[in-house]
C-alpha cells in the first residue's frame, strides 16, 4: 500500500502519460483531475510527465499544472531537469535551453535519415513534412500548439496514408533499418534509442541516489506506455479511447482503471493516495 510506503519513509513518485490519461482526449482539459493534483502538491509528491510530446509542449503543460519536477519527452528521448534540481555529481547531463538534460534517444536528424529509406515501400507522412496547419488539423491542437508539437528532437510521429499498409510490417521494416517503431494511439512513432521505460528507470535511480528508497506509480493507456508501466512498482492501466485495455502488459501490481482521461485519473490517484 502507498500508505505503508509513506510510513517506511519511501519517497512516492508518480509518472503519468498526458493524452487520454491526464488530459481529455478531445479538449485536452485536466480540470476534473484538480482534486488529485492538489493532493499531490500538498504531499510534495513529484509528478513526472512522460509523453510523446516535445520539450516545448511539455514546458507549457508544466506551467499549466504548476509542476517543478523533471519530465520525460518524446517517448523517452530525453529527461529534462529544472535548474532547481540538484543532480548527482556523476550524472553526465547537458545544458539544453535552461534545463539539465540526459539524452536517451538519438537526434531527430538521424531518425529522419533512416526513416527516409522507408519511403521506398510505404506511403507515409511525418510531422517533419507537415506545415503546422496540417499538424493542427490532424491533432486538434491550436496552431500555436501545433508549432510546438513540430519541434521534434528525438521522435518522428508518422501517419500511414495507404489504408492497406500493415502497421506491423511497417514497424518490422523500420526495425530492419535500425529504427524503433511503436504505435502511440494516433500515430506511429519512429526513433532511435528512445525508450520510456529506460528513461523512467534512469530517473528512478537518480531519485533513489538522492533521497533513498522510493515507491513508484505510473499511469498510461497506450502501447508506447507499456515500457514505462513495467518499470514502476505499481502500474495503472487506463482504458483506451475505444474502451479497451492495451495488451502485452504483465505486472505484479497492476490496476486496470475504469475509464480514461482526467476523471478516471483523478479517481484512481485519490484512491491510491488515500489507501
Q: How confident is the model at residue 275 (pLDDT cuts 50, 70, 90)?
A: confident
138-160: average pLDDT: 95
Cell of 224: 508506447
Q: Which of 17, 19, 24, 100 is catalytic?
A: 17
pLDDT for the residue numbered 140: 87
Q: Is 254 helix (H, G, I), strand (E, B) or coil?
A: strand
Instruction: Return the closest-CA partner of residue 80 out of 67, 70, 94.
Output: 70
Is the pLDDT assigned to residue 271 strictly greater than 50? yes
53-62: average pLDDT: 97
| Domain boundaries 2-105+195-274, CATH class | alpha beta
Cell numbers 517533419 correspond to 128
Provide the percentage of residues in the chain whose pLDDT is more than 70.
Answer: 95
Q: Is 244 helix (H, G, I), strand (E, B) or coil?
A: coil
pLDDT for the residue numbered 258: 93
CA–CA gap between residue 221 and residue 227 (Å, rounded)? 11
Q: How confident is the model at residue 2 (pLDDT cuts 50, 70, 90)?
A: low
Q: How confident is the model at residue 167 (pLDDT cuts 50, 70, 90)?
A: confident
Cell of 262: 482526467
70 contacts 80 by C-beta, under 8 angstroms: yes
Cβ count within 10 A of residue 19: 22
Is the pLDDT assigned to residue 50 strictly greater than 90? yes
pLDDT digits (tens, 9 = 90+) for 208-244: 999 999 999 999 999 989 999 999 999 999 998 788 9
pLDDT digits (tens, 9 = 90+) for 168-193: 899 999 999 999 998 876 799 999 99
CA distances from 136 to 119, 127, 266 (A): 24, 10, 28
CA–CA gap between residue 10 and residue 214 (Å, rounded)? 5
Write 98-102 long-range contacts (CB < 8 A, 24+).
99/55, 102/78, 102/202
Cell of 47: 509528478
Read off φ and ψ for residue 150, nearest 5 degrees: -85, -10
Cell numbers 528521448 correspond to 77
pLDDT digits (tens, 9 = 90+) for 89-111: 888 899 999 999 999 999 999 99
Q: Is residue 17 annotated as part of the catalytic site, yes or no?
A: yes
Task: Specify the CATH number for 108-185; select among 3.30.565.10, 1.10.3720.10, 3.30.1370.10, 3.30.980.20.
Answer: 3.30.980.20
SS3 content of the chain, % helix, strand, coil (to 5): 40, 20, 40
Cell of 67: 509542476
Is the pLDDT assigned to residue 164 strictly greater than 50? yes
* Domain boundaries, given as residue ranges, for the chain: 2-105+195-274, 108-185
224 contacts 189 by C-beta, under 8 angstroms: yes
Strands of the chain, DSSP E: 11-16, 47-49, 71-73, 78-81, 94-96, 99-103, 124-126, 156-160, 180-183, 188-191, 214-220, 234-237, 254-256
pLDDT for the residue numbered 8: 60
Q: Over the range 20-52, which residues count as b (16 or more CB within 10 Å of their CB) and which as e?
A: bbbbbbeebebebbeebbeebeeeebbbbbbbb
79 - beta bridge partners? 72, 102
Amino acid at each position: 500500500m502507498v500508505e505503508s510506503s509513506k510510513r517506511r519513509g519511501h519517497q512516492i513518485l508518480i509518472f503519468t502519460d498526458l493524452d487520454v490519461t491526464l488530459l481529455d482526449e478531445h479538449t485536452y482539459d485536466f480540470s476534473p483531475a484538480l482534486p488529485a493534483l492538489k493532493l499531490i502538491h500538498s504531499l510534495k509528491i513529484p509528478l513526472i510527465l512522460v509523453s510523446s510530446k516535445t520539450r516545448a509542449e511539455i514546458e507549457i503543460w508544466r506551467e499549466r499544472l504548476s509542476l517543478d519536477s523533471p519530465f520525460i519527452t518524446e517517448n523517452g528521448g530525453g529527461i529534462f531537469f529544472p535548474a532547481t534540481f540538484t543532480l548527482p555529481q556523476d550524472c553526465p547531463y547537458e545544458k539544453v535551453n535552461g534545463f539539465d538534460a540526459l539524452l536517451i534517444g538519438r537526434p531527430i536528424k538521424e531518425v529522419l535519415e533512416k526513416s527516409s529509406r522507408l519511403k521506398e515501400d510505404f506511403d507515409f507522412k511525418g510531422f517533419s513534412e507537415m506545415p503546422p496547419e496540417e499538424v493542427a488539423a490532424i491533432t486538434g491542437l491550436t496552431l500555436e500548439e501545433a508549432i510546438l508539437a513540430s519541434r521534434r528532437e528525438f521522435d518522428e510521429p508518422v501517419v500511414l496514408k495507404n489504408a492497406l499498409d500493415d502497421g506491423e510490417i511497417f514497424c518490422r521494416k523500420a526495425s530492419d533499418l535500425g529504427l524503433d517503431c511503436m504505435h502511440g494511439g494516433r500515430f506511429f512513432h519512429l526513433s532511435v534509442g528512445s525508450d520510456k521505460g529506460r528513461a523512467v528507470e534512469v530517473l528512478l535511480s537518480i531519485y533513489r541516489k538522492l533521497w533513498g528508497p522510493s515507491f513508484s506509480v505510473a499511469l498510461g493507456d497506450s502501447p508506447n506506455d507499456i515500457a514505462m508501466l513495467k518499470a514502476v512498482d505499481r502500474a495503472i492501466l487506463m482504458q483506451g479511447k475505444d474502451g479497451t485495455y492495451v495488451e502485452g502488459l504483465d505486472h505484479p501490481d497492476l490496476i486496470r482503471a475504469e475509464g480514461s482521461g482526467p476523471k478516471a485519473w483523478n479517481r484512481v490517484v485519490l484512491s491510491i493516495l488515500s489507501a
